[in-house]
């Protein structure tokens, strides 16, 4: 198993990507510590992991609360002995498709600020324990919006660009201590909409076009992605498990393009 004996903290563990990655981590032998704001969603993922023979713990944690994030990290480290992997997979609901002329300053700056606040707090809380052990992996999540240009996603695109820059610089700071940082950059996934905060958002955008959110994302991928399809949740989760493992031990400071070619580096 890739992650045998590892302790993995997954913020947003009840969501689409966070839940999928937590299941993949557990299937590879990691103990999964799921954190998020909605207990029911966390417990659903934890039960899936336990039924499959894995180990999962849940905790209600607000990723924007410094004390809550640090207290949770300290508790996991005290109970498990270490934090080997941390993933920030939280999602912050927001609107897309709003042109600059109609975009409120608060909608722009609050979104960017919230995403960066969560990434800073989660990385800092976990790095404290990783550095003391001389090893660890911090995973972040971006989207092609960090590099693409177009109307209607100014705030989210800037937030994704900031996450990628944060990840690169953090890798440079923590690398000498043995801690790796990798940012995953998948594109929108049709099979994630049912359990993701993006479901209603893409649903609203698709409704005006007379289709479902899944159809919208599928057609978009068929048009712009080199592979003519969108990425799948399982593909993202399996890659996350690999890159968090010692088999990817030479990789840090990287942005992993998992977009099926909708963005080419």
Residue entry with tokens 């998020």: 36
Q: What value does the mean pLDDT take over residues 159-179?
A: 98
For strands 136-141 and 179-186, give the pairing.
parallel
| Model confidence at 225: pLDDT above 70 | yes
206 pLDDT band (50/70/90 cuts)?
low
CA distance 181 to 179: 7
Q: In the chain, which residues fall in CATH 3.40.50.720?
A: 7-186+233-256
| pLDDT tens track for 59-116 | 999 999 999 999 999 999 999 999 999 999 999 988 788 899 999 999 999 999 999 9
- pLDDT tier at 183, thresholds 50, 70, 90: very high
How far apart CA 141 and CA 261 sit, in angstroms, is 17
Write the pLDDT tens digit of every residue in 26-63.
999 999 999 999 999 999 999 999 999 999 999 999 99
Question: What pLDDT, in 10s, does the model give residues 248-261?
Answer: 999 999 999 999 99
Assess whether pLDDT exceeds 80 at residue 234.
yes
Go through 175-198 and write b for each residue having 16 or more CB atoms within 10 A of its CB, e for each that does not.
Answer: eeeebbbbbbbbbbbbbbbebbbb
SS (H, E, C) the chain: CCCCCCEEEEECCCCHHHHHHHHHHHHCCCEEEEEECCHHHHHHHHHHHHHCCCEEEEEECCCCCHHHHHHHHHHHHHHHCCCCEEEECCCCCCCCCCCHHHCCHHHHHHHHHHHHHHHHHHHHHHHHHHHHHCCEEEEEECCHHHCCCCCCCHHHHHHHHHHHHHHHHHHHHHHHHCEEEEEEEECCCHHHHHHCCHHHHHHHHHHCCCCCHHHHHHHHHHHHCCCCCCCCHHHHHHHHHHHCCHHHCCCCCEEEEECCCCCCC
State which fold the 7-186+233-256 domain adopts: Rossmann fold (3.40.50)
Which pLDDT does position 221 carry in this prediction? 87
Percent of the chain with pLDDT over 90: 82
β-partners of residue 183 are: 140, 255
**Residue 152 pLDDT:** 85
Predicted pLDDT at 203: 67
CA-wise closest residue to 120 among 163, 82, 78: 163
pTM for the whole structure = 0.94
pLDDT at 22 over 90: yes
Task: Extract the tokens encoding 86.
Answer: 């941390």
């Amino acid at each position: 198993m890739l992650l045998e004996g590892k302790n993995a903290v997954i913020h947003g563990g009840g969501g689409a990507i966070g839940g999928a990655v937590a299941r993949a981590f557990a299937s590879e032998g990691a103990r999964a510590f799921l954190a998020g704001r909605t207990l029911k969603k966390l417990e659903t993922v934890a039960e899936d992991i336990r039924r499959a023979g894995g180990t999962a713990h849940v905790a209600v944690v607000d990723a924007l609360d410094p004390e809550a994030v640090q207290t949770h990290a300290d508790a996991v480290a005290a109970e498990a002995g270490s934090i080997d992997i941390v993933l920030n997979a939280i999602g912050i609901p927001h609107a897309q498709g709003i042109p600059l002329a109609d975009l409120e300053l608060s909608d722009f700056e609050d979104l960017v600020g919230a995403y960066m606040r969560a990434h800073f707090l989660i990385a800092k809380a976990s790095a404290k324990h990783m550095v003391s052990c001389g090893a660890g992996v911090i995973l972040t999540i971006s989207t092609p919006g960090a590099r693409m240009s177009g109307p209607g996603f100014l705030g989210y695109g800037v937030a994704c660009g900031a996450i990628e820059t944060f990840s690169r610089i953090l890798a440079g700071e923590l690398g000498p201590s043995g801690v790796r940082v990798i940012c995953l950059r998948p594109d929108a996934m049709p099979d994630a909409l049912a359990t993701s905060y993006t479901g209603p958002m893409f649903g609203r955008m698709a409704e005006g076009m007379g289709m479902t959110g899944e159809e919208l994302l599928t057609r978009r991928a068929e048009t712009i992605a080199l592979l003519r399809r969108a990425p799948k949740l399982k593909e993202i989760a399996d890659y996350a498990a690999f890159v968090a493992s010692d088999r990817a031990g030479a990789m840090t400071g990287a942005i992993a393009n998992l977009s099926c070619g909708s963005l080419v580096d």
